[in-house]
Amino acid sequence: MRIETRLLASAALTMGLVAVPALATAAPKDAAAQQAEEIRLLKEQIAALTARLDAQDAATRATTAPAAATARAPAVVAVGPAAVAAGSAAVVAQGDPSLEKIETASANPPKAPAKWYDETKISGRIYYNMSTIEREVDGERTEKGEGFFIKRVYIGIDHKFNDIYTANITTDVAPVVGPNDGNIVGNGLYIKKAYLEAKLDPAFIVRIGAADTSWVPFVENIYGYRHIENTIADRTSFATSSDWGLHVMGTLAGGIVSYQASAINGGGYRQPKFSQSVDYEGRVSAQYKGFTLGLGGYSGNLAKDTFGTETYNTANRVSALVAYQDPMFMVGGEFFQARNFKQVTVPTPDKATGYSIFSSVRPAPKWSVFGRYDHMRPSRDGLPSETGDYGNIGVQFSPTQIVDFALVYKREKVNGGTLSTSNGPIGGSIDGTYDEVGLFGQVRW
């Protein structure tokens, strides 16, 4: 309507201008002044009409999307017969349905089909430290040194097939421990996670393959300083962070309650071997207003009941966690009791217990102060006097969300025996100590 009105105004002006010379020739000379006045009035009316149309045009553009405004912007109106002809053509074209379709397609071009790599993400994580260590056995120094270490390198690939199905593969470059003395003899490349996931509902997610177990990653997420030390059960080989099997998990009650149940090989992700039975691990937890409660359990033969191998005991573990978190403060505690984790193929039963208390404070943005204390009784039946005490304290600076630097001091002492830990064997016939101080950190992407 706006274009047609403007064109009619232009046509009227043009016709007026064309008719004026003829009228001037036929009219007497004393009528010239009257004709000039009529022309002036006509021009003023056309100018007023044009101004009103321009105002309406500006208001329309202010409320129309840029692409549509560009596609439908009116042509500049010129005064004269040529403008009338062009305007008539524009009006005819505007009413053409095929042109309307072209304009709509230009304003909303079709999206190109997604490529496979558009739904694939690559992530990584590196744990490193520059430290000085000292180890003593029965009062004698057996090791002292310093150096730069890479304790973990994780590379993860996630792919989304659709809103239900996804897949993940995560590699782990980790130290290899000698089978006889427990010391680190090199580094190996492992498949830590390799699974297909079906998210049928937030309350029912299924993973098949090597995936996170139910307990260790759950505690690590609360603790927050895995790059400094792994959690107590993982650090002393009474739990593992990933295993091969079938994993079912989900959240309930608006995300307050979560659970996971797994049927797994039992040997951990580094030993994907067959045995005569599968192991079972599960967890149920709740998070509400900063508080977290968790309860977990494990039962099985740890993939040691292979064909031809006699087993005597079933490994069982009960774990519990309670914690509180807010943006400035975190405190938590973990407890576990494990039966026969070292005695599956040994007739004599045994029991181990341990607890860990950890806390951190954020006194300023990008800074945190943290500490932790673990107490272990690794063999309450076989070596009832054996105890292990571990602690760390440190301050951490996080310049970005993907980089952490922490100055840390660690100490562990084992009395009445030897305990295998992530820092190697500690203890002796009487006692043994392990001290480490250095710069620890992680890089994530």
Query: DSSP letters along 180-198, please?
Result: TT--EEEEEEEEEEEEEEE
What average pLDDT score do residues 147-160 get?
94
Q: Which of 349, 426, 345, 417 is nearest to 383 (CA)?
A: 417
Backbone angles phi, psi at 101, to 5 degrees: -65, -40
pLDDT at 74: 44
Max mean pLDDT range (4-8, 177-181, 188-192, 402-406): 402-406
Range of lowest pLDDT (43-47, 120-124, 247-251): 43-47
Contacts of 190 by beta carbon, 8 Å cutoff, 6+ apart: 171, 172, 173, 174, 269, 270
Least confident span in 266-275, 348-357, 371-380, 385-394: 266-275
pLDDT tens digits for range 53-94: 677 776 666 665 444 444 444 444 334 444 434 444 444 344
Lowest-pLDDT choice from 184-198, 200-214, 253-267, 307-321? 184-198
Give the closest residue to 201 by CA, choosing from 262, 261, 249: 249
Pairing of strands 204-212, 242-252: antiparallel
Are 366 and 375 in contact, with CB atoms under 8 Å apart? no
List the single range of 91-95, 229-233, 428-432 with lowest mean pLDDT.
91-95
| Residue 45 contacts residue 76 (beta carbons within 8 Å) | no
CA geometry: angle 391, 392, 397, nearest 5 deg: 165
The torsion angles phi and psi of 300, rounded to 5 degrees, stand at 165, -170
Q: Residue 362: how many CB atoms within 10 A of its CB?
A: 17
What's the rounded Cα separation, in Å, for the pair 105 and 288? Answer: 50
d(CA 238, CA 344): 13
* Arithmetic mean of pLDDT, 158-164: 96
Domain boundaries, given as residue ranges, for the chain:
2-107, 127-145+214-444
- DSSP at 341: T
pTM for the model stands at: 0.74
Percent of the chain with pLDDT strictly greater than 90: 66
Residue 128 burial (10 A CB sphere; 0-12, 13-18, 19+): middle
Q: Which class is 127-145+214-444 in CATH?
A: mainly beta
In this predicted structure, the answer to whether residue 2 has a pLDDT above a threshold of 80 is no
Q: How many of the other CB atoms lie within 10 Å of CB of 62?
A: 8
The Cα 348–Cα 15 span in angstroms is 115
Which comes out higher in pLDDT, residue 132 or 100?
Answer: 132
Summarised one tens digit per residue, pLDDT across range 376-409 is 999 999 999 999 999 999 999 999 989 999 999 9
The rounded distance, in Å, linking the Cα atoms of 317 and 14 is 97
SS3 159: strand
Contact 434, 411 (CB under 8 A): yes
Measured CA to CA, the distance from residue 337 to residue 297 in angstroms comes to: 10
Is the pLDDT higher at 355 or at 59?
355
Q: 176 near 190, Cβ under 8 Å?
A: no
Which of residues 255 and 4 earns the better pLDDT score?
A: 255
The whole-angstrom separation of Cα 419 and Cα 386 is 9
**Which secondary-structure segment (H or E) carries 36?**
helix 32-62
The better pLDDT of the pair 182, 378 is held by 378
Per-residue pLDDT averaged across 334-355, rounded?
A: 96
